[in-house]
Amino acid sequence: MSYRSVRLDHERPALDEQLARSREFLALMRTRRTVREFSHDPVPIELIENAIAVAGRAPSGANQQPWTFVVVSDPEVKRRMREAAEDEERVSYERRMPVEWLEALEPLGTDWRKPHIEDAPYVIVVFEQAYGLRDGRRRKHYYAKESVGIAVGFLLAALHASGLAALTHTPSPMAFLAELLGRPANERAFCLIPVGYPAGGCTVPAITKKPLGEILVRV
């Protein structure tokens, strides 16, 4: 396909409005936390669909959009997903992870048990399309993993802006997810994201984020 262009649809707000939007969004994202305790309260599917639509607006290498978002709400599928994830995680915690990794995880209070996979109303499983398929032929994807990572960032922000809680989970290895969900050979599981409302009395680890001065370098 040859290059063509369209005029950018952009309206520059007044500076005071820009600053207000920026500060409001920062304040919102400062309240985002990874949640592992979910309510069974139902979540409108439109909130999930809208958040995924936001993720689909993320930039990607060569605009190839190498992602698939599988939304799981079926209790039986979530049960099987939890069992498979816990099988892998148990082995990881008991034999695969070095001591340094376990020590790094200790402040988060995690272990191999993953009840949130079943408790959350939805689990979004994000797949990276390692290569494209067109007319039965492979199509190389450029920067697929980086592109999917950006899309997941968009997704988490959109879910939080909708008043939902989520966490990213990457059981290792994750090949069971493609098999369980019937995904094609070109798709590889990137992460699974339980989504819902926090449970009543939900607690989170007492951790902090690095201040701006530690992550921002001006040149």
Tell whether 76 is covered by a domain: yes
Write out pLDDT tens, residues 120-165. Answer: 999 999 999 999 988 878 999 999 999 999 999 999 999 999 999 9
In-domain check, residue 215: no
- Host domain of residue 192: 34-199
Question: Does residue 164 lie in a domain region?
Answer: yes
Q: Would residue 211 count as lying in a domain?
A: no
Say if pTM beats, i.e. exceeds, 0.75.
yes
Q: What is the CATH number of the domain that holds 87?
A: 3.40.109.10
The model's pLDDT over 66-98, given as tens digits with 9 standing for 90+, comes to 999 999 999 999 999 999 999 999 999 999 999
Distance of CA 27 to the CA centre of its chain: 21
Number of domains in the chain: 1
Domain annotation covers residue 210: no
